Structure 1
Amino acid sequence: MSDTQPSGRILVVGAGYVGLTTAACLAHLGHDVICADIDQAKVASLSAGVVPIREADLDRLVAEGIARRRLRFVTSAEAVAAACEFVFVCVPTPLRADGETELGYLFAALESVASRLRPGSVVVTKSTVPVGTSPKIAAALGRTDVALASNPEFLREGSAVADFLAPDRIVIGAEDGAATRRVAALYANVEAPMILCDPTSAETVKYAANAFLAAKVSFVNALAAVCEAVDADVDTVLAGVGTDHRIGTAYLQPGPGWGGSCLPKDTRALVSVANDAGYVFDLLEGVIAVNEQQLDRVVAKVAGMAAGRNSDLAAERADGRSSDVADALHSVGLDGVTVALLGLTFKAGTDDLRGSPALRIAELLRTRGARLAAYDPAMRSLEDRPDIASQLPADMELRSSAYGALQGADVAVVLTEWPEFAALDWKRAASEMATARVVDARNLLDARQLRSAGFVYEGLGRR
């Protein structure tokens, strides 16, 4: 297979979650794909069929693509750009400390291939970029003989392959109608509605979708707090709300707060974009504020449990004094208290710690003086993952099993919804702990089962 042979070949720049999933899935759809990444060790690993991230079915598709000679990995995008008709840019666009999106990786990728692009090729942006970035991309390329398109990704970690191959929609934004049709043709074997539009609208769709999901989660977490205040049961309330077809059940689940690599940065980026355009997005700022409050609420629950205040809380809620109690618990120290953290990833099914509310809660507990022992099914071994180890709070002990994390703990807190935790032998767990107390920040566990096993149990908004 010659690098100079013109064809419908696709170059994917970046082999992270989005880039690797895009490359593997496009190869699975029958396309000839080259995936480029500057990380030589990663390219060597992927070329051998070893996928460095936990993502369902991704290792199988990578192996399939290599075996069928539809997928290969290189370290230089520049060296192969001239042989490709499409260039998908899938590099990180993290949020800077000042709230602006860092586009340095994007422009570096564009500059590396600009001079080598074939006339008539199409550069497709899959990286999440601020609304209005398309003209900047055109300026960075400096090529009037190359078409541009925005094709935002809507991949959920843990189900990225399924989301790519069976998506809710495919959004393609381009000013050139021919380019739009050519990019759409790449998805000919995918059954999904096509949203064909201008680049600015495509960029806005991505932010709008994530902002709405974040708003839904923040609403549910705030509703759980209301249920606690009025002594209603959030599970029953959400069952009644979710049956409304206009609302649905997706994302109607209380938790420790939303996180991950997308929702935190995309919500803040949309607020920033709106502010720059002269609109103060109060609603979305409120969504972000509620998410910050949720972290404190979970920490306050742990502090209350450690102080033996759970029964007092129930009585004082009935007396209408729950806000006073909560305020008092925010100042409770945890010196000498051992807290078992069950789950560290931002959601089940992935080993990604980016933006994890579990880690933020762990850090808040540590600053209160708590000793931390943790277990996560995705992190049984850290020897080969220094990138993960470097993200963990200082002095936290990572244990090899859930029972190991619970051993000697004064309070356990469920922070990630791994099914393994629901399936634990909680009578055994009670015998391992110094005191059998659990804060279920995912409402994952069966409260009656826990109480029958001898636990003092508290969830989110549960009666």
Structure 2
Amino acid sequence: MKLAVIGTGYVGLVSGVCFSELGNEVVCVDNVQAKVDMLNNGEVPIHEPGLKELISSNMVAGRLSFTTDLASAVGSSEIIIIAVGTPSLPDGRANLTYIEQAAKEIGQAIDTYKVIVVKSTVPVGTNEKVADIIREYATVSFDFASVPEFLREGSAVKDTMNPDRIIIGTASERAAEKLTALHSPLTNQITITDVRSSEMIKYASNAFLATKISFINEIANICEKVGANVEEVANGMGMDRRIGSSFLKAGIGYGGSCFPKDTQALIQIAGQMDYDFKLLKSVVEVNSDQRFNVIRKLEELLGDVAGCTIGIWGLAFKPETDDVRDAPALDIIETLLARGAQVKAYDPIASSNFERNFNRSEVKYCQSAQEAATEADALCILTEWKEFSNIPLSSIQQWLKSPNLIDGRNIYREEDLKDTPFAYYSIGRPRMNNGVRESNPVLSF
């Protein structure tokens, strides 16, 4: 098939590239000429494993191209996929400016029947609004559909090529048949539903996963107080098929471009319908507070952090991405600086993106994990890059001024810490001092 993908962010770029890998002829559209030039030169604006190689091979095969000419791309394609950003407004609502502009330009460009697909995450009712905008300008018939994405940054190519399911929301049998044919090489788990339910499935899915993360983090906080181990608790819970083991890893909370944005948007959607989504509000509140556990643990170890040097390993919100949007490191470093600490930070690939938030006069950006840890009063692990877990604790001990380690991602095991001098605080697990687990609290009934 011939496809035009409007928007070359994570969703648009990965989707377009993967559709070309399936044998379709895909043109990706972006209104930033520099970005299009970069892509046409084989450079990739985001870090995503496997993406650069797929772009190169499909461009060579003639199935993939990039342009700023939306009208030409729309005119030559049978399916138009809208994948522009819908960032949060200050009140939490989704900003639909870019999707409305795309709809207007598509309406002005179509001259034959097309299937218009909204892949961007949008509030319930947006697809109908997009269709109305296109009708204002279009002189030909078209069908529209909602096909939400469920990819994860850091594994986006894998998720796109191996989806759990495909949701197609449309009232058109013709569009449903065409989109089923497009996606059938990926999976036979294809569900056809109405447009509004499709839009809601995306928000409900992300809200539920965010809820699981906040829930296990609350359990982790209780485990610390009663002397239980959250990893053992999560393992036991996950063995129950009704619960499942995914998204039960305790840590310092979720971040990135999806969960924070989508939970806030769903709260706003509910509010606009006069429904108070109390559960999801609590999920957001728990997540916001969880990252400050790092600060609380630091102050238990060091007292006042003013004048202390704190080493930070990890700035991206998760490994295998350079995305720092709503990363826990943002709030943690901001708090440390406000309290007078000096911060030395290292991330394998995300430092340049993080520097847009804190410049080099505020944070010392290091070229290695060793440099960030050297002569620090404490080290905080905020992203679970594999590189960090491969570093021997004996090396970290030599680098640090004092053997104080806050493991916000639980990358080390209790047996790793035995016979070491570390004061070690993790999330939801017993604390260790000088290689010995602290005594369990006395419980009274």
TM-score range, shorter chain: over 0.9
Q: Does 1:295 align with 2:330?
A: no
**Which residue is 2:355 aligned to?**
389
Correspondence 1:14-413 to 2 at 5 A: 14-142=7-135, 143=138, 145-307=141-303, 333-379=304-350, 382=352, 387-392=353-358, 395-413=362-380
Structure 1: 5+ residue stretches without partners: 1-7, 308-332
Q: Does the Cα contact within 8 Å between 1:131 and 1:200 map onto a contact in 2?
A: yes
Q: CA separation in 1, counterparts of 2:79 and 2:345?
A: 45
My pick for the range that moved more, 231-240 or 12-21, is 231-240
Secondary structure of the 2:75 match is helix
Deviation at 1:437, TM superposition (A): 0.3
My pick for the range that moved more, 423-432 or 14-23, is 423-432
Q: Does the Cα contact within 8 Å between 1:340 and 1:373 map onto a contact in 2?
A: yes
Secondary structure of the 2:168 match is strand
Q: Which amino acid aligns with 1:124?
A: V
1:259-290 deviations in Å (ceiling 9; x for gaps): 11000010010011011112111111111111
Deviation at 1:245, TM superposition (A): 1.4
CA shift in 2, pair 1:424/1:13, >3 Å: same
**Which residue is 2:411 aligned to?**
444
Deviation at 1:388, TM superposition (A): 4.5
Q: Does the Cα contact within 8 Å between 2:146 and 2:170 map onto a contact in 1?
A: yes
1:352-402 deviations in Å (ceiling 9; x for gaps): 11111122211122212211111111247x4xxxx5421336611110111
Q: CA separation in 1, counterparts of 2:38 and 2:257?
A: 23
Q: Does the Cα contact within 8 Å between 1:166 and 1:192 map onto a contact in 2?
A: no
Q: CA separation in 2, counterparts of 1:421 and 1:306?
A: 23
Q: CA separation in 1, counterparts of 2:288 and 2:109?
A: 46
My pick for the range that moved more, 214-223 or 389-398, is 389-398
Secondary structure of the 2:391 match is coil
Secondary structure of the 1:339 match is strand
Deviation at 1:197, TM superposition (A): 0.6
Q: Does the Cα contact within 8 Å between 2:146 and 2:195 map onto a contact in 1?
A: yes
Secondary structure of the 1:138 match is helix
Q: Which amino acid aligns with 2:5?
A: V
Correspondence 1:415-454 to 2 at 5 A: 415-454=382-421
Q: CA separation in 1, counterparts of 2:257 and 2:350?
A: 18
Give the TM-score normalised by the residue count of structure 1: 0.89
Q: Which amino acid aligns with 2:203?
A: Y
My pick for the range that moved more, 188-197 or 205-214, is 188-197
Q: CA separation in 2, counterparts of 1:452 and 1:242?
A: 32
Structure 2: 5+ residue stretches without partners: 431-445
Deviation at 1:295, TM superposition (A): 1.9
Secondary structure of the 2:349 match is helix
Q: Does the Cα contact within 8 Å between 1:451 and 1:457 map onto a contact in 2?
A: no
Q: Note the aligned Cα RMSD (angstroms).
A: 1.4
Deviation at 1:26, TM superposition (A): 0.4
Deviation at 1:461, TM superposition (A): 1.2
Q: CA separation in 2, counterparts of 1:379 and 1:104?
A: 28
Q: Does the Cα contact within 8 Å between 2:238 and 2:244 map onto a contact in 1?
A: yes
Q: CA separation in 2, counterparts of 1:226 and 1:182?
A: 51
Deviation at 1:451, TM superposition (A): 4.7
Secondary structure of the 1:215 match is helix
**Which residue is 1:5 aligned to?**
none
Q: CA separation in 1, counterparts of 2:113 and 2:131?
A: 14
Deviation at 1:342, TM superposition (A): 0.7
Identity rate, percent:
39
Q: Which amino acid aligns with 1:343?
A: G
Q: Which amino acid aligns with 2:335?
A: L
Q: CA separation in 1, counterparts of 2:166 and 2:358?
A: 36
My pick for the range that moved more, 233-242 or 222-231, is 233-242
Q: Does the Cα contact within 8 Å between 1:447 and 1:457 map onto a contact in 2?
A: no
Q: CA separation in 2, counterparts of 1:272 and 1:354?
A: 20
1:165-217 deviations in Å (ceiling 9; x for gaps): 11000011011121111111111211241111111000000000100010000
CA shift in 2, pair 1:251/1:55, >3 Å: same
Q: CA separation in 2, counterparts of 1:113 and 1:133?
A: 16
Q: CA separation in 2, counterparts of 1:391 and 1:228?
A: 32
